[in-house]
Structure 1
Amino acid sequence: MSEKSRDINFLKLFGKNLRSIRESKEMSQEEFSSFCDIDTRQLGRIERGESNSTILTVKKIADKLNLPIKELFEI
């Protein structure tokens, strides 16, 4: 498996984990993106593994959820 393929798989797993966390909060993408103060389209791209989020975006999400950042990566 190439490095690019591993990176894509990692982004998809991160997005799947984030979606699972959002769904456990029983929030729609619109509600969650508003709660986390990020664009709904960006959240959709993150959840689909199409966007390589910045560290600051990940920190913002973790802060809003009151979770340690590492929990967002526990896939």
Structure 2
Amino acid sequence: MITVAYQSRDVYFLKTFGSRLRQYRLHQRMTQEELAELAGFSRSYYTEIETGKRNISLLNIRRLAEALDIPVKDLFDFPFE
């Protein structure tokens, strides 16, 4: 298994993305399990995304946006450093 060392700005980005995702999930009154199921993920995989521990693919980002019924761009509506 290859381990990737992230820079602090990468960690910030992943955690901020996860936080943004959490905001949308809670706004729609979904549990992690419900959103994970809608997007086709396991709950543990989804939890790693939301906590910033997982760097996901563009296709999985699209699946999350579709499950939340929002445009993909809305998931990136936060300041980048």
Q: Output the TM-score relative to the length of structure 2.
A: 0.83
What are the ranges of 5 or more consecutive residues in structure 2 without an aligned counterpart?
Answer: 1-5
RMSD over aligned CA atoms reads 1.2
CA–CA distance in structure 2, aligned partners of residues 22 and 66 of structure 1: 11
What are the ranges of 5 or more consecutive residues in structure 1 without an aligned counterpart?
Answer: none
| Greater Cα offset, 65-74 or 39-48 | 65-74
Q: In structure 2, what is the equivalent of residue 13 of structure 1?
A: 16
Q: Output the TM-score relative to the length of structure 1.
A: 0.89
Aligned length: 73
What letter corresponds to residue 18 of structure 1 in structure 2? Answer: L
Q: In structure 2, what is the equivalent of residue 34 of structure 1?
A: 37
- The structure with the largest helix share of the pair is 1
Shift of 1:35: 1.4
Report runs of 4+ in structure 1 exceeding 4 Å deviation: none
CA–CA distance in structure 2, aligned partners of residues 43 and 55 of structure 1: 14
